[in-house]
Structure 1
Amino acid sequence: MSASIGAVVVKDPSLHLKPFTGFRNNNTPYSSTYSLLLDKRINPFTSSASPASIRAVSTPVKKEASAAETKRSKVEIFKEQSNYIRYPLNEELLTDAPNINEAATQLIKFHGSYQQYDRDERGGRSYSFMLRTKNPCGKVSNQLYLAMDDLADQFGIGTLRLTTRQTFQLHGVIKKNLKTVMSTIIKNMGSTLGACGDLNRNVLAPAAPYVRKDYLFAQETADNIAALLTPQSGFYYDMWVDGEQFMTAEPPEVVKARNDNSHGTNFPDSAEPIYGTQFLPRKFKIAVTVPTDNSVDLFTNDIGVVVVTDDNGDPQGFNIYVGGGMGRTHRVETTFPRLAEPLGYVPKEDILYAVKAIVVTQRENGRRDDRRYSRMKYLIDSWGIEKFRSVVEQYYGKKFESPRELPEWEFKSYLGWDEQGDGRLFCGLHVDSGRVKGVAKKTLREVIEKYNLNVRITPNQNIVLCDIRPSWKRPITVALAQSGLLPPTYVDPLNITAMACPALPLCPLAITEAERGIPDLLKRVRSVFEKVGLPYNESIVVRVTGCPNGCARPYMAELGLVGDGPNSYQIWLGGTPAQTSLARTFMNKVKIQDLEKVFEPLFYSWRLKRKSKESFGDFTNRVGFEKLEEIVGKWEGVPKSSSRYYLKLFTDKETYEAVDALARVENKSAHQLAIEVIRNYAASQQNGKSQ
């Protein structure tokens, strides 16, 4: 038998390499040179092998690694011994136990699932699995939406969750039902492949279904990048549909870019030409958008891609940004959130090759010894952008051009009604924390099914109903409003931009509440606004996470709350409404009952000392944290004369309780609802007079 491994040909009639090409010695770092231990009796599921060592070169050889560099995390060994993410997960799924072992728990992430248990329960653990779909651009077909809605009721906890990466999360699936649920998603043209794990995650793009050249091109590019970086070794379909393939035909430019090895990016003859057996050091995130539209939180991604057009609106190429990431660890200052920075510009026909070169640079050089430092942001922070660009250019085979100048960024929610540009409409609906449940879930299903609508999920945990005929607008509006899915003018502005991660009770990393706590937190922020005299139409970007991993991107918020202890939060300030500025830690260990002691002086000072139309985030950055700490420290309460917008609306308990009961249905305070009623009444009277 003659087996070609990279640039080396191995001749030995007793070798059987095909299923395991690319395995490397546990003592060799994953770098430009890979070691493969081979003998007549290789067991791919153990780390033991006889000493015959053969190098498989896929890229230029680096100098030998030092002993310190050879250390690898446990997850790296699990991946190496897994036969491309199969073993021992395939065996663990067949046992009667409600859970799976440590190695399988890591591997199932690549299949789009996390093992969880209900932390509210006392005594034994009730294990279940969260499934996350992969929907480039947030696109969800009518068929897939209805299937996911059914699965949530039949096998989940009765709710669907819209994520900050434009996907669904389905919670509460028990192990014995995993294959049924997974196969149902696949057979309804969905996927969970790569939604979690050490590989490229869901590729973001603006959710608005505009029929415009730049938006269509951004979405097409996101689809192609997602296809380029999809695993090829078949482990997903082997596991869940017994090897049956449901993949759609790929554009020829994607296949060509994946197979191209002109600059040493690929593992020749490998089942995973881009990923190899080890995949990436950690998760990898990509977003594509058009100028001005920062609905995707562009700068929080490992790679940000922006369409550049000519004066006629025709796409010409892309600006590329690299090195964003949100995760960090409390009290470990060497971990930090980071914004992506400009790498350069590429013509439109080169985008797949440029993205592949960046991914391979991270694959070859990202740390694999300590997962806290394995994201690409740490590689760029260590090297600097110039060295990083130089290495990427070796894999790309060209020099990057200078980035093109772009207009300023804006956050776009795409809530409410708008025209697609093809004679049809779309309707963006706000969903608190992305949790689709109860009457709203039932009504959404009825509307989507009745009108055969496709939908899109936004990076802000909301949903867009697409392809609506103008004649359907009124009946759809009425049906949605009756279920509490109101037009954005009837939603508190604070809720429009707020986000929270699921946190407790199912996330094993959560330190404190986020999704379950944010409704009350937003009411408290609104109450403080009213107390210090800020008008109802005033808003700030509030994001809450139960731990420092940053799943709801709190480090981009104007007010970020990050769980750092039981009922305790770090307070982050300094993000901006357009999500172009990184927040910073303002205070640590603030107990939940003491938040108003911080909010009041900050919001009062903002109202009193802000410049014209200055956002809260810009105000905190301009004034500086030292001065703000002084203001909070000396705070003695809001002067009575300051609450000029605050009206005492309730003179008797019965009226208050009646209004409060109505307000709770819409997740508002009694005061908020009463103010809205008064405002709407005043507006209608004014309109009547003007007519």
Structure 2
Amino acid sequence: MITSIGAANTTVFNDPKIQIQRFNGLKPCKLLSVHGGGKFGFSVSADSSIVRALSTSVKPDNSPELKRSKVEIIKEQSNYIRYPLNEELLTNNPNINESATQVIKFHGSYQQTNRDERGTKSYSFMLRTKNPCGKVSNRLYLVMDDLADQFGIGTLRLTTRQTFQLHGVLKKDLTVVMSTIIRNMGSTLGACGDLNRNVLAPAAPLSRKDYLFAQEMAENIAALLTPQSGFYYDMWVDGERIMSAEPPEVVKARNDNSHGTNFPDSAEPIYGTQFLPRKFKIAVTVPTDNSVDILTNDIGVVIISDEDGEPQGFNLYVGGGMGRTHRLETTFPRLAEPLGYVSKEDILYAIKAIVVTQRENGRRDDRKYSRMKYLISSWGIEKFRSVVEQYYGKKFEPFRNLPEWEFKSYLGWHEQGNGHLFCGLHVDNGRVKGAMKKTLREIIEKYNLNVRITPNQNLILCDIRRGCKRPITTALAQGGLLQPRYVDPLNLTSMACPALPLCPLAITEAERGIPEILKRVRAVFEKVGLKYNESVVIRITGCPNGCARPYMAELGFVGDGPNSYQIWLGGTPNQTSLAKCFMNKVKVQDLEKVLEPLFYYWRHRRQVKESFGDFTSRMGFEKLQQLVDKWEGPVATSSRFNLKVFANRQTYEAMDELAKLENKTAHQLAMEVIRDYVAAQQNGKNE
């Protein structure tokens, strides 16, 4: 029983299981008791005090108290992600304290310093928006463009999760920037922090039923898992809730507590006071379209349609994640694996059940192991499925068969299907700046275009009238935004994280280093005879956290020291295989010593249409290491070794036809056959 007495709002709790935390204004006082992992919550607000019931435990009071990380304590004492940020924002200091830096992440911001500068630290804040499906209205794009110039460093950055990042905002300007974004139908709520992040979906504005349904579902999942306690609006717009109405099915699913998923009467029915153990990532897509790197997410949602293209339900993957820690083998990147199939009517309940399973069982003592991938790796998929089904209230149906995945970039001009066109634009590393930024603004403003951000850090201009194609194409070219056929194929699929100078976790360069690295890779291609239209998927990060998903690349560079990288090999062009670490501590000036032999032997020993990633997996790292160790450069073609190997035209023509199947010349294939024959004979003698 709970009673409220008089104007002072004195609250009496007759249930001994309820634990209370009382705040004087917004400053926490004594914490009466702490338990974790329960299913009950309560909150009461008054003019002079706020009483919060923490998540309660169904276990007896004598159960051992689990160790919790410092961040868990900060979340618990934050009054639903308000304190001490609300106090820190009122000071004249250019920075905020350690606890507030954790709290502000839930509001969509990170505190940063310029690591290029020496002496007194130069503090600023990075703001990240939340844009389900990468959708950005015309109005919001123009506002973000203005804010970058007025309060940022003059650039916008497109992220691998279909959002904007705005760098260089000073503490004194945070409120005006945040409130401007909110009042223009944008948001940064939950773009960072221990909760569901931006929900991905294919960015292409196609008028197909499955694509439209995927985007609708991504928006509904994002709404389902949006915080409800109002801390974001209290902090930045004085409590005014500026948001569109939610679909009734989302509200119903969030409030449903039939299977013990919710904290009853809590300000945060799904998250409670502790939110999730770590960040949580979800992507929605349609069969074959892997523009979202579906297997890298905590939950991957794939629409299953009938023969008429009508969506019927969803396949669910679980347990993907990229982050790891150097020299700690108990941390690792992981691919998601199949969980099961649910009908379209049940998808929100299934998603909620998975999130709650992670909320209740994910580790909260050591943040290195707090992602859901570690829970599933520890439990195994069968136990995980069984626990999720308890919160879901149903058994999952068998996973439906799927066709092969393909990476789709949507660059260039395409039909939308509704009479309009869309144009996908390649943006190197997602950095919108200079003449490109000015040109994009002029086009988007003049033609009143909405835009979409892709998971590959590119931009799509939507809803273009046919008569506008030619002038827009001309304007784009003048601004340096070229059609994909004029962009180096290596650049088209590459990605890099921001890294230095602003990211506090960066060990070495990524965004600033990748242009030169790609040029050097192209030079190696030319040196070993690879054609210009051939490419490999290259991704670079300045640390092992994997923000640019390097562990899915055919060739991944992961910063492991100053001007030094790990080299990862074995991903595939369609992003369905996990790369493995091939070499450590490769200095940036020594990359050619590794890349030349790898690309040379890929050219000469690959099978028909074999990608670089598949080639390195087939060869095996032991053999590749031998080739790198004994490398002395490409085989010379001087007259001394340029032997005539064909005795007659018939032999030559037959060899030439075989060579074409492997994208080689007849002479190259003949020399390989001879070398392999000689090597086999020598091995036979040695035995």
| TM-score in same-fold range (> 0.5) | yes
Q: Distance in 2 between matches of 1:131 and 1:159?
A: 12
1:625 pairs with 2:596: no
Give per-residue Cα distances to partners, 1:429-486, cap 9 Å, x unaligned.
Answer: 0000000000000000000000000000000000000000010000000000011100
Q: Identify the residue that residue 2 of structure 2 maps to in structure 1.
A: 2
1:266-665 aligned at under 5 Å gives the runs 266-641=262-637
Q: 1:30 aligns with which of 19, 31, 36?
A: 36
Give 1:589 shift: 0.3
> Structure 1 unaligned runs (5+)?
47-53, 643-691
1:110 pairs with 2:106: yes
Give 1:557 shift: 0.2
Give 1:638 shift: 1.2
Q: 1:240 aligns with which of 236, 241, 245?
A: 236
Residue identity matched to 1:181? V
> Structure 2 unaligned runs (5+)?
5-12, 639-687
CA contact (8 A) 2:20 2:33 kept: no
Could you say if the C-alpha distance between residues 395 and 605 of structure 1 is closer, same or farther in structure 2, counting changes exceeding 3 Å? same
Give 1:32 shift: 3.5
Q: Identify the residue that residue 140 of structure 1 maps to in structure 2.
A: 136
Give per-residue Cα distances to partners, 1:490-514, cap 9 Å, x unaligned.
Answer: 0000000000000000000000000
Q: Distance in 1 between matches of 2:506 and 2:124?
A: 16
CA contact (8 A) 2:39 2:262 kept: no
Q: Distance in 1 between matches of 2:314 and 2:30?
A: 37
CA contact (8 A) 1:29 1:72 kept: no
Could you say if the C-alpha distance between residues 249 and 34 of structure 1 is closer, same or farther in structure 2, counting changes exceeding 3 Å? closer
Could you say if the C-alpha distance between residues 27 and 300 of structure 1 is closer, same or farther in structure 2, counting changes exceeding 3 Å? farther
Residue identity matched to 2:472? I
CA contact (8 A) 2:303 2:311 kept: yes
Give per-residue Cα distances to partners, 1:229-273, cap 9 Å, x unaligned.
Answer: 000000000000011110110000000000000000000000000
CA contact (8 A) 1:210 1:421 kept: yes
2:218 counterpart SS class: helix
Q: Distance in 2 between matches of 1:394 and 1:153?
A: 51
CA contact (8 A) 2:38 2:55 kept: no
1:78-157 aligned at under 5 Å gives the runs 78-157=74-153
CA contact (8 A) 1:503 1:510 kept: yes
1:70 counterpart SS class: coil
Q: Distance in 2 between matches of 1:36 and 1:17?
A: 12
Q: TM-score, normalised by structure 2?
A: 0.87
Work out the percentage of aligned pairs sharing the same amino acid: 79
Give per-residue Cα distances to partners, 1:525-559, cap 9 Å, x unaligned.
Answer: 11000000000000000000000000000000000
Give per-residue Cα distances to partners, 1:74-110, cap 9 Å, x unaligned.
Answer: 0000000000000000000010000000000000000
2:106 counterpart SS class: coil
Q: Distance in 2 between matches of 1:460 and 1:167?
A: 11
Give 1:28 shift: 5.0
Q: Distance in 2 between matches of 1:110 and 1:85?
A: 7
Q: Distance in 2 between matches of 1:404 and 1:413?
A: 25
Residue identity matched to 2:181? I
CA contact (8 A) 2:425 2:458 kept: yes
Give 1:30 shift: 2.8
Q: Distance in 1 between matches of 2:534 and 2:313?
A: 38
1:209 counterpart SS class: coil
Q: Distance in 2 between matches of 1:619 and 1:515?
A: 27
Residue identity matched to 1:190? G
Residue identity matched to 1:2? I
Q: TM-score, normalised by structure 1?
A: 0.87
CA contact (8 A) 2:20 2:54 kept: no
CA contact (8 A) 2:313 2:342 kept: yes
CA contact (8 A) 1:24 1:34 kept: no
Q: Distance in 1 between matches of 2:60 and 2:385?
A: 21
Residue identity matched to 1:538? E
Q: Distance in 1 between matches of 2:134 and 2:32?
A: 39
Residue identity matched to 1:518? I
Could you say if the C-alpha distance between residues 24 and 298 of structure 1 is closer, same or farther in structure 2, counting changes exceeding 3 Å? farther
Could you say if the C-alpha distance between residues 262 and 611 of structure 1 is closer, same or farther in structure 2, counting changes exceeding 3 Å? same
Query: Which has the higher Rg, Structure 1 or Structure 2?
Result: 2
Give per-residue Cα distances to partners, 1:10-58, cap 9 Å, x unaligned.
Answer: 399x9897999xx9979855324679999xxx99799xxxxxxx99658
Residue identity matched to 1:606? W
Q: Distance in 2 between matches of 1:26 and 1:482?
A: 65
Give per-residue Cα distances to partners, 1:629-668, cap 9 Å, x unaligned.
Answer: 11101111112339xxxxxxxxxxxxxxxxxxxxxxxxxx
Q: Identify the residue that residue 175 of structure 1 maps to in structure 2.
A: 171
Question: How many residue pairs were aligned?
Answer: 624
Q: Identify the residue that residue 681 of structure 1 maps to in structure 2.
A: none
Q: Distance in 2 between matches of 1:580 and 1:281?
A: 27
Q: Distance in 2 between matches of 1:151 and 1:505?
A: 21
